[in-house]
């Protein structure tokens, strides 16, 4: 397992060791022991989620306020996405900055997203199945978000504007400067 740190503190790309032969492949999608051995922060994942979306769907940017904020471990089971986070931690050197990466079922890489970051993704393939683990339960009262197309953030979602599909809820999210955050 390779863990690659990004410019945003605590945000990591995890490249698993994949064993392939004529029968298919095998890899550990999660090993607490291995992850704890590589990171200073320790995580205890307690909720596992999966979603399926079609090309052009953008989900996010979502987060939960503290004390219900979530660390997420994201991976794509099938298809390809552009995964994006925005740093909401006011004391962070990268506060207000975003980072994006393509993840796919082919590369099997994962994205470890610490608490205090907003998360979203755009589906780049015909369909995509995303699996993610969380270290805190979903809490609807603490759910918040930031509009995907905030010009102050300038995120390139890798999809043409006319091809974007969003939920009504995500279309009404505030811009970063007006978002409720307590990190």
Alpha-carbon distance of 93 to 87, in angstroms, equals 9
Active site residue 78: no
Annotated active-site residue in 30, 55, 62, 68: 62
Query: Does residue 63 carry a catalytic annotation?
Result: no
Tell me if residue 139 falls in helix, strand or coil: coil
Catalytic residue among 132, 137, 138, 161: 132
Q: Which residues are catalytic?
A: 62, 132
């Amino acid at each position: 397992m390779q863990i690659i740190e990004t410019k945003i503190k605590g945000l990591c790309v995890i490249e698993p060791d994949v064993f392939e032969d004529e029968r298919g492949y095998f890899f550990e999608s999660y090993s607490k022991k291995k992850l704890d051995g590589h990171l200073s922060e320790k995580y205890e994942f307690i909720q596992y989620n999966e979603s399926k979306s079609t090309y052009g769907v953008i989900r996010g940017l979502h987060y939960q306020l503290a004390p219900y904020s979530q660390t997420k471990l994201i991976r794509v089971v099938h298809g390809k996405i552009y995964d994006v986070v925005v740093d909401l931690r006011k004391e962070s050197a990268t506060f207000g900055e975003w980072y994006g990466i393509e993840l796919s079922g082919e590369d099997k890489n994962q994205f470890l997203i610490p608490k205090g970051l907003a998360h979203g993704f755009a589906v780049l393939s015909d369909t995509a199945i995303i699996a993610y683990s969380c270290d805190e339960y979903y809490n609807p009262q603490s759910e918040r978000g930031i509009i995907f197309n905030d010009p102050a953030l300038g995120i390139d979602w890798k999809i043409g504007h006319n091809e974007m599909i969003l939920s009504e809820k995500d279309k009404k999210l505030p811009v970063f400067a007006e978002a409720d955050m307590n990190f």
